[in-house]
Amino acid sequence: MVTFLLQYPQIPLLFLGCMAVVIFLAARSFKITNVSMALLTALSFLLVFFYIIFEGQLLQMANHSFNGFDNNLASLFSSNAFYKYEPGAILISLITFCLAFLVSIYCAEYLNLDRRQHAFYPLFLLMICGLAGMLFSANLMVLYLFCELMSICAYALVAFRRRTDTAIEAGFKYLMMGSVASVVILLGITLLFMSYGSINIADMQGSTSWPAQIGTLFFFAGFCLKSALVPLHTWLPDAHGRAPSSISAILSGILVQGVFYVMLKITLSLGFDHILLGTILLCLSLLNIVVGNLLGLVQNHTKRLLGYSTIAQMGYIVLCMAIGLRNNLLLALQSGFFIIIAHAVAKSLAFLSKGVFHYYVDASKIKHLQRASSLPIFPSVAFGVAIISLSALPPFPGFTGKFFALTSFFTSTDKITVLSALVLLAGSLVAFGYYFPLLLILFSKPHKQAPDENKKSKQKKISPWMSMPIATLVILIIFISIAPQYLMDITIEAAQFLMGMMR
Tell me the pLDDT tens digit for each residue of 279-301.
Answer: 999 999 999 999 999 999 988 88
pTM of the predicted protein model? 0.92
For residue 463, is it left (φ>0), alpha (ψ between -120 and 50) or beta?
beta
Q: How far is Cα 149 from Cα 20, in angstroms, rounded to an integer?
A: 13
Instruction: Provide the pLDDT confidence category of residue 123 given band limits of 50, 70 and 90.
Output: very high
Please tell me what DSSP assigns to residue 111: T
The pLDDT of residue 246 is 93
The pLDDT of residue 64 is 56
Helix axes 397-409, 415-443, angle to 10 degrees: 170
The pLDDT tens digits for 405-419 are: 999 888 877 888 889
The pLDDT of residue 471 is 95
The pLDDT of residue 370 is 83
- 455 vs 112, which has greater pLDDT? 112
Average pLDDT over residues 315-330: 92
The pLDDT tens digits for 136-171 are: 988 899 999 999 999 999 999 998 887 777 889 889
Burial 129-161 (b: 16+ CB within 10 A, else e): bbbbbbbbbbbbebbbebbbbbbbbbbbbbbbb
Helix axes 165-196, 235-242, angle to 10 degrees: 130
The pLDDT tens digits for 47-102 are: 999 988 887 666 666 555 444 444 454 444 444 567 778 889 999 999 999 999 99
Q: How far is Cα 106 from Cα 484, in angstroms, rounded to an integer?
A: 27
- The burial class, CB within 10 Å (0-12 / 13-18 / 19+), for 16 is buried
For 376, residues 6+ apart whose C-beta sits below 8 A from its C-beta are 460, 461, 462
The pLDDT of residue 454 is 47
121-130, 282-291, 331-340, 357-366: which range is least confident on average?
357-366
The pLDDT of residue 453 is 47
The answer to whether residues 128 and 94 touch, using CB atoms and an 8 Å cutoff, is no
